[in-house]
A = this chain, B = another copy of it.
Amino acid sequence: MTRLEELGEFELIRRLTANLRLGPDVREGPGDDAAVVRPDPGRDLVITNDALISGRHWLDEWIEPADLGARLALANLSDVAAMAARPRWAVIAMGLKPDRLEAWVSAVQSGVESTLARENAWLVGGNLGSVELQEWLCLTLIGDVQPERAWTRRGARAGDLIAVTGSPGRAGAAPRLIRRLGAGARAAEWSPLLEAWRRPTPRVDFARALAASGVVVAAIDLSDGVAGDLGHLCAAGGVGAELEASAWGDDPPLEAAARTLSVPLEELRAGASDDYELLLAVRASGRATCEAVAREAGVPLHFVGRFTPDAGVIEWLEGGTRRPLRARGFEHFV
């Protein structure tokens, strides 16, 4: 009789999906950023869902409802981006308390709707339920992609390069600062971190442009943090990875947060953090192409390491030393 807290989220997922039966129209089942199905020969659909849980993913006093809705949409858009697909339609489910204000619900929905609309995707339906104790929001997003063109987590080989968009770690640092500093986290110096947490940037267009270049061989979105999500890419590809401390761009607000929280910068950068950025495996010959596409799109992109033959081993290279990565990704239940 095993409890979930003894297993952790990913072992539970492994067990739940190990023997799932799937029909021939299912091209990718559970285990990637989104499932891939084929309604007709000419087009694949990707399907993903993501939920935000009150007290765990958000605190009312720290996020405006429109930003909360936007974040829910972005969590899903990020999964669709990580499949190099085009977002199309979404349905929302909300478990809400009876004393919740209508204006709040309406603003959450507007945040979802407008964030999707900017990517030409539409909120087409939903389901409302009443809860007594703990509210939640759940969005399912469907996208489309040309058959066999979806990025998956598989495909990284030893020698492939590791690239990340944006400034990973900022989103995860924000709630830690809030817990440490309370209202002090509202100071201007922390706003880049709070913004990364409240309003991540969708990478949908960039992913599709990059997919067209053909140099990306595996992809995942950063929702558990670099250590966790790079671990998923390594597991799917049967490889290991090494990260170069010096290859990440400077990030003064994140460095300040590391000092204030008295934790190594590495822990913020690679530990639990839902940045909704892209983590990519790129053929070594494709680096210049990737950089050109990123420059064209105005997307910050850093090559921060490479995949190695040592399956499952992730190392951190800093100041001429090499050691196992200390940071851990986010995991529910444990």
Q: Which residues of A contact B (CB under 8 A)?
A: 1-5, 7, 9, 12-13, 15-16, 20-23, 25-26, 28-30, 34-35, 37, 39-40, 42-43, 45, 47-51, 53, 55-57, 88-89, 91-93, 95-103, 105-106, 109, 113, 117, 120-134, 136, 138, 140, 142, 144, 332-334
Residue contact B136 to A99, C-beta cutoff 8 Å: no
Residue contact A102 to B332, C-beta cutoff 8 Å: no
Measured in the bound complex, the distance between the Cα atoms of B15 and A103 in whole Å is: 10
CB distance from A9 to the nearest CB of B (A): 6
Copy tally for this chain in the complex stands at 2
Residue contact A21 to B51, C-beta cutoff 8 Å: no
Measured in the bound complex, the distance between the Cα atoms of B3 and A288 in whole Å is: 55
Residue contact B124 to A47, C-beta cutoff 8 Å: yes
Residue contact B144 to A22, C-beta cutoff 8 Å: no
Contact A35/B89 with A4-B102, A102-B3, A127-B49 known, Cβ cut-off 8 Å: yes
Nearest 4 CB-CB pairings of A with B = A35-B124, A5-B98, A140-B140, A133-B133
Partner of A109, one of B16, B128, B134, B142: B16
CB distance from A175 to the nearest CB of B (A): 15
Measured in the bound complex, the distance between the Cα atoms of B102 and A98 in whole Å is: 31
Measured in the bound complex, the distance between the Cα atoms of B92 and A121 in whole Å is: 21
Residue contact A20 to B113, C-beta cutoff 8 Å: yes
Q: Which residues of B contact A2 (CB under 8 A)?
A: 101-103
Measured in the bound complex, the distance between the Cα atoms of B5 and A100 in whole Å is: 8
Measured in the bound complex, the distance between the Cα atoms of B117 and A20 in whole Å is: 11
Partner of A48, one of B29, B53, B56, B125: B125
Measured in the bound complex, the distance between the Cα atoms of B12 and A36 in whole Å is: 34
Residue contact B30 to A126, C-beta cutoff 8 Å: yes
Q: Which residues of B contact A138 (CB under 8 A)?
A: 49, 51, 93, 127, 138
Q: Closest B residue to A30 by CB, please name it.
A: B125
Measured in the bound complex, the distance between the Cα atoms of B12 and A248 in whole Å is: 47
Q: Closest B residue to A103 by CB, please name it.
A: B1
CB distance from A318 to the nearest CB of B (A): 33
Which of A120, A125, A134 has the most chain B CB within a 10 Å cutoff?
Answer: A125
CB distance from A86 to the nearest CB of B (A): 11
Q: Closest B residue to A117 by CB, please name it.
A: B21
Contact A50/B99 with A26-B89, A88-B37, A105-B16 known, Cβ cut-off 8 Å: no
Measured in the bound complex, the distance between the Cα atoms of B20 and A58 in whole Å is: 25
CB distance from A83 to the nearest CB of B (A): 11
Measured in the bound complex, the distance between the Cα atoms of B47 and A123 in whole Å is: 11
Measured in the bound complex, the distance between the Cα atoms of B186 and A61 in whole Å is: 46
Measured in the bound complex, the distance between the Cα atoms of B113 and A29 in whole Å is: 13
